Copies of this chain bind each other. A is one copy, B any other.
Amino acid sequence: MAAPVTHVAELTGAEALISTATAAGIEVCFANPGTTEMPIVSALDSVPGIRAVLGLQENVCTGAADGYARIAGKPALTLLHLGPGLANGLANLHNARRANSPVVNVVGDHASWHLPFDAPLTSDIAGLAGTVGSVLITRQAEDLPGDTFSAIEASTRTGVISTLIVSADHQQQVSPRQQPSAVRVARVRPQVPAERIHELARLITASADDIVVLLGATALSRKGQDAAGRIVARTGATLYSETFPARAERGGGLPAIDRLPYFPETAIQALEGRTVLLAGAPAPIAYFGYEDIPSRLAPDHLVHVLSAVDEDSEQALVDLATALGADAVLSAPVAPELPPATERLDGATVGRTVAALLPEDAIVSIEGGTCGYPFFSASAGAAAHTALTNTGGAIGQGLPVALGAAIAAPGQRVIALQSDGSGLYTPQALWTMARERCDVVVLIAANHVYNVLRTELGRHGNDDLGDQARSLTSLGDPALDWTALAKGFGVPASRAVTAGQLADQLTDALQSRGPRLIEMVLEA
């Protein structure tokens, strides 16, 4: 018996692409198209089902697709113009790859017969796309349903950003071929075998060492962390989350879980002499290499894998808790309190203020350490919320991810807790927030300095900065005016100097619709 096929009317290649993507469950396309994507732009109208969201620069589109995927659990399309358009979005695709987010890039190319002439915009698109994942180049219009489906399927593989390169002529040609049946493409996470669970339960029970459970990926779900908390209550183990989780549920009674410290010497100390159980986290590795400090933060023989990054870590923790007979619940962390209203803002006061005012089910996109670390420390006892961090270290990710999260969850409040230096990479995201009426509150930590780099210069033995080192790590002279930038992009903005001002402005913003920006003037 032949498989059922859906015969559809004649479609252009572009329409077949959009139609296939819709059938696979894709609902959003973050786009910055150019001439070679015009048939796809037209198809977004002629084939209903996908919402097009314009970004003024491609790194906004790709970062938004990452944020969308982290919240929606499925890919969005990006629509990018040729090699340079893809190149502009690669940094946030790098972050998306490190977040294991599914993203499907659709990149137009010159008409196939025009490519040999090396026109000004011709470049090695496949070479660029290959640096972040899999690449598929269409050969003819009739292949577009199948190619689109394959590209979407490829995006469900862990750590693979999928790119489909479609020549302009293939987009425009009309094709009578049928479309594949509608199949929704979802990521499948294999279960951890029972033997591994039991072996590790025995190890934990028998071990004289302290145990550390390092949580990553789906272990950071609410259910995963609940189970991890019960394991702690039973065994006295210590929990850490990976340092930069793609998505971590937090607060609302979940156990207080610190992130594994960023600097390797501190992380090594935290893990020293302990048996490390990996639940969805990769083996802990130094973020950067420093002379005389090992890259591996724990010796191999002490590291055991409960569940790999692409396995079902949530269930593995539940099963492990069961195997250990761990049913007692940890007491919930203490709720954060507002700092005194007259205090000047610094990382700690910002962290406490935001944690104390967090609305239920908020999504917090965190980029930069100045307020990011203190917020994590302050927010364990806050209302239930979801934290998204910069997974790949390419800065300029926080605002686009907040945008994408807001598109994925229109009913939830999004807060972008954003350092100024990294925010200046993709400020254009503010405009799309305004256009799409996203309920995002952007909190800019304005200390006018690349603080992490001053720290790193010190670590490299340069404590007495010369003029050029000082200048290259300063965002002063002139000082950026974020309220003016926000106005330029159509986002209402205000400025806070004290904790009380921040609390008032944040409370007001959280009760309003549409985006708002608060420039937090931090003490130097």
Where the two chains meet, the residues of A that have a C-beta atom closer than 8 Å to any C-beta of B are 31, 33-36, 38-39, 41-42, 44-46, 52, 54, 56-57, 59, 82-85, 87-88, 90-91, 94-95, 98, 110-111, 113-114, 117-121, 123-124, 127-128, 130-132, 168-169, 172, 244, 285-291, 295-296, 391-396, 421, 424-425, 427-428, 431, 434-435, 452-453, 456-457, 459-460, 462, 465-469, 471-475, 477-490
Establish whether residues A127 and B131, one from each chain, have CB atoms under 8 Å apart when the complex forms.
yes
Contacts of A295 in B (CB 8 A): 113-114, 117, 119
CA distance A306 to B117 in the complex (A): 20
Establish whether residues B57 and A396, one from each chain, have CB atoms under 8 Å apart when the complex forms.
yes
A128 partner, pick from B128, B391, B471, B488, beta carbons under 8 A: B128
Establish whether residues B98 and A87, one from each chain, have CB atoms under 8 Å apart when the complex forms.
no
Q: A120-B393, A394-B84, A471-B52 are in contact. Are A172 and B90 (CB under 8 A)?
A: no
Contacts of A468 in B (CB 8 A): 41, 44-45, 52
Contacts of A39 in B (CB 8 A): 460
Q: What copy number does this chain have within its complex?
A: 2
Q: A35-B453, A121-B287 are in contact. Are A434 and B478 (CB under 8 A)?
A: yes
Contacts of A490 in B (CB 8 A): 478-481
Establish whether residues A119 and B287, one from each chain, have CB atoms under 8 Å apart when the complex forms.
yes
CB distance from A46 to the nearest CB of B (A): 7
Establish whether residues B131 and A83, one from each chain, have CB atoms under 8 Å apart when the complex forms.
yes
Contacts of A431 in B (CB 8 A): 424, 478, 480
Q: A42-B462, A83-B94 are in contact. Are A59 and B33 (CB under 8 A)?
A: no
CA distance A462 to B44 in the complex (A): 12
Contacts of A474 in B (CB 8 A): 54
Q: A90-B84, A425-B88 are in contact. Are A289 and B120 (CB under 8 A)?
A: no
